[in-house]
Amino acid sequence: MSDTSRLLSSTNGSYGSIAVSRAIASSISSEHALQWLVLTDKVRLLVDNYEGDPVSDDYKPIHVFGSRRSEIDETAIDFLEYESSINGFRGSLQIGVLEYLEPVRNWISPVPANDPSNAPTEIEGQYEVTSPETQAG
């Protein structure tokens, strides 16, 4: 069992304890109780995503990301399907971790609503529409 599997198994096993502790959070304030519910929900979603690991009889993640890639036919349709699944799985885990870290940051160090870090990120030129003539010229 990998370190990640052990961590998520222990998190999943203690999920009941985490959920019960929301009474403590609610005794602090209703805002803390709400934040705690968000945190426990993000943990549950992360565990649910982790349990959706793509399975193949022929391939393992090491065939996609590791040294055993040279051992397989990279053009085989079943491999391409597995590679696509495992890449999607990895992406969903990355998003899940980021979604979890955001409320953790807010729990540890709340940011006032009027703080500039809460403002939407504006990328220069993201809303500009250019015509093909302008791009060519």
Tallying the residues shown for the chain, one arrives at 137
Residue-level pLDDT at 6: 53
- Does this model's pTM top 0.85? no
Residue-level pLDDT at 14: 58
Residue-level pLDDT at 87: 92
Identify whether 10 is part of a domain: no
Identify whether 32 is part of a domain: yes
Identify whether 49 is part of a domain: yes
Residues 64 and 14 sit within 8 Å (Cβ to Cβ): no
Identify whether 116 is part of a domain: no
Number of domains in the chain: 1
How far are the Cα atoms of 116, 124, 125, 126, 136 from residue 131, in angstroms, in the given order? 33, 18, 14, 14, 9
Residue-level pLDDT at 70: 86
**Local mean pLDDT, 10-residue blocks, the chain (137 residues):** 52 59 70 81 87 88 86 88 92 90 83 72 60 54
Identify whether 118 is part of a domain: no
The torsion angle over the Cα atoms of residues 105, 88, 119 and 38, rounded to 10 degrees, is -40
Residue-level pLDDT at 85: 93
Residue-level pLDDT at 31: 77
Identify whether 43 is part of a domain: yes
Chain-centroid distance of CA 62 in Å reads 21
Which residue range is the domain that position 74 belongs to? 17-109
Identify whether 50 is part of a domain: yes
Residues 42 and 100 sit within 8 Å (Cβ to Cβ): yes
